[in-house]
């Protein structure tokens, strides 16, 4: 549902997007997905989406029609310029290849072209299966890894500064930032700014720009 929300947001705001990696859930839904979004100020608008999102609804998988609560974590990583100075040592990388989970039929990728890279020291894992070429998928995965490592380094530096100033980090990536409540009433609430909407269907259909801008203006240290 979050993937659909962000993709609809991109379509409504002329942002280009592509799925870099998609892992299906064991029984239904998605286990994880990575999408790349391109557009003017895309990172600035979406940066504050990082965190845990909570959904309350009547589960379509429950024959008893009971209310369920589920959680999904979102991480927003900027794409930095190619001259980012991040050194990757071969001994720090664990590289796995596997079958891409394509659409099936004639378009299914039957070769082991998908690539997953684990950066052992940081435990950061990235994967890519967009291209049919294992080499291209590896290059894309390495680029994503460098971006994540660079962002991690920036966050660690900011944490040191904040600790010295005895202030809190503006955004806690592990916190619950927003609730989407579809039952027993309809409400979307951002817990950081107090933004509320009683039209969750519109929000989940990609109408999130107003909320993004409101949060941008009201979250201390938000992206500009």
| 177 and 161 housed in the same domain | no
pLDDT tens-digit map of 104-134: 444 444 567 899 999 999 999 999 998 888 9
pLDDT at 39: 94
The backbone region for 15, taken as left when phi is positive above 0, alpha when psi lies in -120 to 50, beta otherwise, is: beta
Q: What is the pLDDT of residue 105?
A: 41
pLDDT the model gives residue 208: 97
Q: Is residue 84 part of a domain?
A: no
Q: How buried is 188 (Cβ within 10 angstroms: 0-12 exposed, 13-18 middle, 19+ buried)?
A: buried
Strand-pairing partners, residue 126, are 117
- Per-residue pLDDT, 159: 74
Report the alpha-carbon distance of residue 64 to residue 77 in Å, rounded. 39
**Which residues of the chain have a pLDDT value below 50?**
103-109, 164-174, 222-224
Position 161 scores a pLDDT of 56
Domain with 156 in it: what CATH number?
3.30.160.20
Containing structural domain, residue 95: 90-165
pLDDT 10s digits, 50-75: 999 999 988 776 767 778 888 999 98
Concatenated DSSP letters of 71-135: EEEE-------TT------GGGEEEEEE-----SGGG---SS-EEEEEETTTTEEEEE-SSS-HH
Count of domains for the chain: 2
Q: Which token pair is 71?
A: 């959680």
Regarding whether 98 and 122 lie in a shared domain, the answer is: yes
Asked if residue 62 lies in contact with residue 75, where contact means CB atoms within 8 angstroms, the answer is no
Based on the domain organization, do 55 and 100 belong to the same domain? no
Among the listed residues 7, 71, 66, the one whose alpha carbon sits nearest the alpha carbon of residue 36: 7
Residue 53 maps to which CATH number? 3.30.70.1660
């Amino acid at each position: 549902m979050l993937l659909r929300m962000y993709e609809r947001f991109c379509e409504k705001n002329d942002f280009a997007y592509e799925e870099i990696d998609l892992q299906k859930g064991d029984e239904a839904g998605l286990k994880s997905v990575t999408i790349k979004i391109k557009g003017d100020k895309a990172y600035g608008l979406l940066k504050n989406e990082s965190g845990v999102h909570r959904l309350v609804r009547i589960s379509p998988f429950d024959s008893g029609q009971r209310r369920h609560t589920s959680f999904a974590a979102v991480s927003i990583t900027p794409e930095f310029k190619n001259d980012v100075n991040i050194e990757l040592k071969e001994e720090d990388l664990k590289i796995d290849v596997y079958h891409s989970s394509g659409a099936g039929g004639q378009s299914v990728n039957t070769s082991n072209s998908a690539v997953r890279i684990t950066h052992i020291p940081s435990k950061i894992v990235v994967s890519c299966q967009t291209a049919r070429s294992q080499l291209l998928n590896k290059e894309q995965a390495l680029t994503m890894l460098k971006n994540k490592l660079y962002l991690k380094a920036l966050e660690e530096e900011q944490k040191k500064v904040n600790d010295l100033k005895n202030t809190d980090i503006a955004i806690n990536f592990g916190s619950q930032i927003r609730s989407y409540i579809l039952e027993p009433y309809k409400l979307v609430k951002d817990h950081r700014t107090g933004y509320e909407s009683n039209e969750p269907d519109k929000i989940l259909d990609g109408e999130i720009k107003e909320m993004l801008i409101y949060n941008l203006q009201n979250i201390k240290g938000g992206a500009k």
